[in-house]
Amino acid sequence: MTEKILITGITGFVGSHLADLALEKGAEVHGLKRWNLSRLRNIRHIMDKITLHDCDLTDPIAIRDIIKEVQPDVIFHMAAESFVSPSWKHPSHYMDVNYNGTVNLLEAVRLAGSNARIHLPGSGEEYGEIYEDEIPITEKTVLRPVNPYAVSKVAQDLIGLVYNRSYDMNVIRTRAFNHEGPRRDYVFGIAWYAYQVARIEAGQQEPVLRTGHTADRRNFTHIRDMVEAYWLAAHQCEPGKLYLIGSDENDKVYTFKEALDKLIAMSTVDNIQVVQDQKYVRPTNVPRLIGDTSEFRRLTNWKPTIGFDQILLDTLNYWRDFVKNNLY
Mean pLDDT over residues 29-36, rounded? Answer: 91
Judged against a pLDDT cut of 90, whether residue 39 lies above it is answered with no
The pLDDT assigned to 125 comes to 96
pTM of the model: 0.97
For residue 170, pLDDT beyond 80: yes
What value does the mean pLDDT take over residues 67-83? 97
List pLDDT tens digits, range 273-287: 999 999 899 999 899
Q: What is the mean pLDDT of residues 135-140?
A: 96
pLDDT tens per residue across span 304-315: 999 999 999 999
**What are the chain's domains?**
4-179+220-245 (3.40.50.720), 185-218+251-289+307-324 (3.90.25.10)
Average pLDDT over residues 85-114: 98
Mean pLDDT score of the chain: 96
What is the rounded average pLDDT of the residues 112-131? 97
Residues 177-230: tens digit of each pLDDT: 999 999 999 999 999 999 999 999 999 999 999 999 999 999 999 999 999 999
Instruction: State the SS3 of the chain.
Output: CCCEEEEECCCCHHHHHHHHHHHHCCCEEEEEECCCCCCCHHHHHHCCCCEEEECCCCCHHHHHHHHHHHCCCEEEECCCCCCCHHHHCCHHHHHHHHHHHHHHHHHHHHHCCCCCEEEEEEEHHHHECCCHHHCCECCCCCCECCCHHHHHHHHHHHHHHHHHHHHCCEEEEEEECCEECCCCCCCCHHHHHHHHHHHHHCCCCCCEEEECCCCCEEECEEHHHHHHHHHHHHHHCCCCCEEEECCCCHHHEEEHHHHHHHHHHHCCCCCCEEEECHHHCCCCCCCEECECCHHHHHHHCCCCCCCHHHHHHHHHHHHHHHHHCCCC
Average of per-residue pLDDT across 259-273: 97
How far apart are alpha carbons 26 and 21 in whole angstroms?
9
User: Does residue 37 have a pLDDT over 80?
Assistant: no
Give me the pLDDT at residue 35, please: 81
Q: Is the pLDDT of residue 326 over 90?
A: no
